[in-house]
A and B are shown apart, each in its own frame.
Chain A
Amino acid sequence: MATYELKNKKNPPISEIGVIKWLHENLFSSLFNSILTLFALYLLYLIIPPLADWLYFGAEFGNVTNDQCTREAACWTYIGKKINLYIYGFYPEEHYWRIHLTFALVAVFSFIPRLFKNNPHRFKLIAFLFISYPILAFYLLYGGIGLEVVETHKWGGLTLTIIIAAVGIVASFPIGILMALGRQSKMKVIRFFSVLYIEFIRGVPLITILFMASVVLPLFFSEGIDVDKLLRALIGITLFQAAYIAEVIRGGLQAIPRGQYEAADAMGLSFFQKTSLIILPQALKISIPNIVGSFISLFKDTTLVLIIGLFDMLAIVGLSTSDVNWLGRETEGYVFVAFVLWIILYSMSKYSKNIEKRYNTELDKEKL
């Protein structure tokens, strides 16, 4: 009946764009919202200025003694004086380079495989690097032939936190995979012990596991063998984390369609081949966001070692403020540690969200 002429697009009415619109829609769209906005602004007014004053504007940064340092605001001088303690624990200063080297090697070892992208022996190289790093790292940190020994009770601070987290993550992973597979197993005995392990560990607080590792574990060994304190903590944390990783991986395993198992069987693959070549790679990929989440939790849990006598960053606060020269600076200490840990954990969670986003878009592409 009718054909219309094509019109050009117009611009929306003025009240629809710009700052006024934004303010109106987002902050003052209704009476209730306006009241909320004012309430929120009032809250901010109550909190931000005193906080900023304590943290920065009134705070002391200069080179003064504890008595000269202000009590009304933060005394960051204290942190400056104790910073080595916070980062390196009791590690001897002349040997700091060993810690630096250990961490630098992580970057180096991660980079090396990229140089050999098309080399057929690449996989063996990665395996070699993966196995040799812990040995090398331990040698550097602890000492031995040629390097002076630094006992583990001297390790502390941020270094210790990172070491515990890293070892926990790496060691718990294979155990977690085994437990997850065990829980899925058709063999009743295997399944029984896997479920028992996982549900038991997940039902109790980490602190009880650490107590167990710290107090009971030494009793399991023959008289005379003294189990290193750090090692006990590492065993406790690893066994604890393994149960949680197992559940995460189990989620991934369950997300794999039955058809994958059947196709692998039909091809005649053995259990080991099927699992390592087909099932696990897919399960792990699906679980990546949750695995990262699990690691974030682990990192937070490392603070508990203070309760069994190890000197992670949090423990250093209590330690360094019983120093006669710096009494009463716990608040500064806690704020500093909170700040450092927060940055690390926040970065990890942002990274996790990125991975999730990238992974979801990859999935969508596959669907198309």
Chain B
Amino acid sequence: MSSNDKQIIQINNLNKWYGDFHALNNINLTVNEGEIVVICGPSGSGKSTLIRCINYLEKFQEGEIIVDGTSIADDVKKIRQVRSEVSMVFQHFNLFPHLTILDNLTLAPIWVHQNKKEDATERALALLDRVGIKDQAEKYPNQLSGGQQQRVAIARSLCTSPKIMLFDEPTSALDPEMISEVLDVMVELAKEGMTMVCVTHEMGFAKKVADSMIFMDEGQIIETNKPDEFFKNPESDRLKLFLNQILDK
């Protein structure tokens, strides 16, 4: 998928500590524009921490992260710049319960990107249609099912026209029968050329759309490979063990 060589995310020698605990150990990673990267690994391996560093929800002590030319630092302008180009979909959706679905979507376009209300509403409704929720626009998040809420969350992330989308275990909190409706939307996005970095356990999804697989354990990147090789010929022992555990089901 990624014939374009433009590096849109560069992570160099990233190190992060929680107090004494070394959470991310010398991470080096590049993501090209339009690339789909899937990160997997056992819990506690630092996968979520890593992608949350990309939009500065987590701070890091050593190394650098460059997103579309901007090097992330504790600087309000830079952070705002990065966050306007990077969107995140959370495991627990994090929709704003006191606002309607429509207001959830138009909030950022109006208040962050200075869009006109009419334009924002039009775009929001179009996106809701795209994820299949158009007729729920005036409802409140708690009136929707989990799968519907997550699709709304994806639509909300798309409203700000991001260049990169981060997915933090987007289907882990869903009941099994709702997982596929969310994955279908994500596959659509992948096919349209969105740059995506996903932390997920859904290997079927990964096999279908990933350009690059990354395996993490204990805060380090252990192995990366193209999906075919990754699943068929895992090199490291830890990856072999991990694949045995999850693919056995």
Chain A residues in the interface with B (C-beta under 8 A): 1-4, 6-7, 9-13, 16-17
Contacts and interface: CB of A to CB of B under 8 A. Distances in A.
B118 interface: no
B58 interface: no
B17 A1 contact: no
B222 A3 contact: yes
A251 to B, nearest CB: 22
Given A13-B61, A13-B62, A6 B20 contact: no
Interface of B: 15, 17, 19-20, 22, 25-26, 61-62, 212, 218-226, 229, 235-236
A1 B224 CA distance: 6
Contact of A7 (B19, B62, B220): B220
A9 B25 contact: yes
Given A12-B20, A12-B61, A17-B20, A4 B220 contact: yes
Contacts of A10: 15, 22, 25
A4 B222 contact: yes
Nearest to A13: B61
Given A10-B22, A11-B22, 13 more contacts: A1-B225, A1-B229, A3-B236, A4-B223, A6-B218, A7-B25, A7-B220, A12-B17, A12-B19, A13-B61, A16-B19, A17-B19, A17-B20
Contacts of B222: 3-4, 6
Contacts of B25: 7, 9-10
Nearest to B239: A3
B220 A16 contact: no
B47 to A, nearest CB: 15
Contacts of A12: 17, 19-20, 22, 61
A7 B226 CA distance: 23
11 contacts: A2-B224, A2-B225, A3-B223, A4-B220, A4-B222, A7-B25, A7-B220, A12-B22, A13-B62, A16-B19, A17-B20
Contacts of B20: 11-12, 17
Contact of B223 (A2, A7, A16): A2
A12 to B, nearest CB: 4
B237 to A, nearest CB: 10
Contacts of A17: 19-20
